[in-house]
Structure 1
């Protein structure tokens, strides 16, 4: 079934491990390129695909002249439905979402493998002299917080467009209304970004897609100790699942199409799309992670809690928008005013 779909749809696969993946039943969906190559290696023919499948029972009837077809009904008692064929739409969904993720993620396995890490530059220190040594400690901390937040925004902004392009390629997303699409992207962006950035997060640092990393202490100054604690707890647990690009892409799509986001109008449609994606994620995980899909799905509510805390923290930045110099796209995705007109 996989080989037939690949030929008929002329799908081109890529291998992230130089075409040397071990392909067995438990992990055959991890690398479609090597799975397809193995199909060819064991003798599957591209030319035979256009003739379609001939049931074994039919071949036996036609090759044996001594057999007489006495009963069409009994002889054509259909062979049991092919499980591979029944799951064909799910496999197609897995392929589509995985390709969308790999094409639009700066945090893919290939991109992060050779990434060179470098620290975030230190904030500029105010020059003070005489009795007027400096402003109060509170003002100094606020200045550092604003500076760090602006650096953070600059490094995260490229991921906004990446998430938008990924969303447009997730099957079913563009069928939703423009308003629902916008809500799902804006409300879910931080959760999607954190899921991807988890791959480059340690106990003490968070690394952006260009290799620049921010320390946990800097993050605590930007946000709060309690929030950063929950954020790093999530990334540590998420990393322990060892998700590949295919699983991470499907997980991201499930997060994106969350029907209970505030403001979504066509809840039923979003829910139907998410249900299909959850089914695809479970199937992919069952093949590659020894069936531990409950552990992966358990991360969804945990991530939602982190996202809700982040939304509350944004209120401070919305109130102090006039002190910030943020990239327009970043300000838009988080509804942070850029001018007086945005407040009306």
Structure 2
């Protein structure tokens, strides 16, 4: 009996990297216990949105790991748990020997180690990642799950056949039709304006900006964020079509129809961006981080309009680091892919500028825009019949 007891006492204790309990093996890429393995699995499968009732820095140890699910999930991410990891099973001998050398002898030591870990810069970045990931899932109508379940339907409007009309009436007809198209697209876009505003509020540091800067960032960045969002729902070109954009209600507008609303060159640039951006195969968390970065970065290029560009730049730097950490963790440290993605920001800003130029055409016709949603008019500074 004594030999059995001695054998059990000498068996190395390998702690769960999340809570410090006894690890049962490698789960989702790290040594963890059965409890944390199951918790992480449920969290990612159900895309649960947690909230911390304190300051987001709760201690996560075996005795209180169920107290704050937000901080427990953040800790899972911080130690490297990932749904993309495929290594499972018992802790290998080499790992046991290595961890035995640095064995922590008591729960108090585990708690102290966890507290120190919470103070690291990387953990702060995981807090940013978690906040933005949850904000994106809550306030984007074009997530993977939502676009997959869209029931698509064509828009019920006709582009005028200019060939069948004489020159005198054609111009007036085209102008009238373009106004109707603009207003209809504005109706489709307006729910996304609500989404982007709510998403922006949850970007860490955003509410610390002046109210004027918050409004500038949203006004300058909305269309660009929408381009990123909607890229997921774009129908690719085929033998019968040049492609189409599907809005959140399932209505789609074709490439040819966007040619009419804007112009062929701008519409083609939009669809080229959709194709190249979709080539990155980003997940929802990465798209959310990129959208947050685009919202801040592209407005900084218009720094003369911002009241406190330095504070915005500080938040931008954190977002760059968070996106880099997330992408390198999920893609085996592929720095080049991250660099290519960052290279899409200037292209996105150029599309935003060109869209703003097209808005000038609409602003000049404000007196006839009776169907323009008030929120769309406000975000793009278009005078309305009511306000005029």
TM-score (norm 2): 0.67
Offset, 1:284: 0.9
Offset, 1:256: 1.3
Q: 1:325-344: CA deviations, max 9, x gaps? A: 200001111111103755xx
What is residue 221 of structure 2 aligned with on the other side?
Answer: 188
Q: Does 1:172 align with 2:205?
A: yes
What is residue 122 of structure 2 aligned with on the other side?
Answer: 87
What is residue 339 of structure 1 aligned with on the other side?
Answer: 385
Offset, 1:2: 7.3
Instruction: Call closer, same or farther: CA 1:16–1:123 in 2, change over 3 Å.
Output: farther
RMSD: 3.6
Checking the alignment, whether the CA contact within 8 Å between 1:30 and 1:246 is kept in structure 2 is: no
Offset, 1:213: 0.3
What is residue 64 of structure 2 aligned with on the other side?
Answer: none
Q: 1:15-34: CA deviations, max 9, x gaps? A: 2699xxxxxx9xx6664xx8
Q: Does 1:214 align with 2:256?
A: no
In the alignment, structure 2 segments of 5+ residues that lack a partner are 1-15, 21-34, 49-76, 92-99, 107-112, 238-242
Offset, 1:233: 1.1
Paired with 1:260 and 1:251, the residues of 2 have a C-alpha distance of 16
Q: 1:239-282: CA deviations, max 9, x gaps? A: 10011100000000101123233511100000000000010001
Match runs of 1:1-344 below 5 Å: 3-4=18-19, 13-15=43-45, 31=83, 56=102, 59=105, 85-123=120-158, 136-201=169-234, 202-203=236-237, 204-258=243-297, 259-261=300-302, 262-290=304-332, 291=334, 292-324=337-369, 325-339=371-385, 341=387
Offset, 1:125: 7.9
Offset, 1:13: 2.8
Instruction: Call closer, same or farther: CA 1:211–1:266 in 2, change over 3 Å.
Output: same
Q: 1:153-178: CA deviations, max 9, x gaps? A: 01010000100110111110001110
Q: 1:121-149: CA deviations, max 9, x gaps? A: 024989xxxxx999611122112211111
Paired with 1:205 and 1:84, the residues of 2 have a C-alpha distance of 47
Q: More displaced, 244-253 or 144-153? A: 144-153
Instruction: Call closer, same or farther: CA 1:123–1:134 in 2, change over 3 Å.
Output: farther
Q: 1:178-207: CA deviations, max 9, x gaps? A: 000000001100000011001112341111
Q: 1:287-318: CA deviations, max 9, x gaps? A: 22342201111111111111111111110001
Instruction: Call closer, same or farther: CA 1:149–1:109 in 2, change over 3 Å.
Output: same
Paired with 1:240 and 1:136, the residues of 2 have a C-alpha distance of 44
Paired with 2:142 and 2:17, the residues of 1 have a C-alpha distance of 27
Instruction: Call closer, same or farther: CA 1:176–1:84 in 2, change over 3 Å.
Output: closer
Paired with 1:308 and 1:106, the residues of 2 have a C-alpha distance of 24
In the alignment, structure 1 segments of 5+ residues that lack a partner are 19-24, 44-53, 61-77, 127-131
Of structures 1 and 2, the one scoring higher in RCO (CA 8 A, sep 6+) is 1
Query: SS at 1:122's partner residue?
Result: coil
Offset, 1:285: 1.1
Query: SS at 1:214's partner residue?
Result: strand
Instruction: Call closer, same or farther: CA 1:283–1:338 in 2, change over 3 Å.
Output: same
Instruction: Call closer, same or farther: CA 1:55–1:224 in 2, change over 3 Å.
Output: farther
Paired with 1:323 and 1:279, the residues of 2 have a C-alpha distance of 47
Instruction: Call closer, same or farther: CA 1:217–1:125 in 2, change over 3 Å.
Output: closer
Instruction: Call closer, same or farther: CA 1:302–1:134 in 2, change over 3 Å.
Output: closer
Query: SS at 2:136's partner residue?
Result: helix
Paired with 1:140 and 1:13, the residues of 2 have a C-alpha distance of 54
Query: SS at 1:206's partner residue?
Result: strand
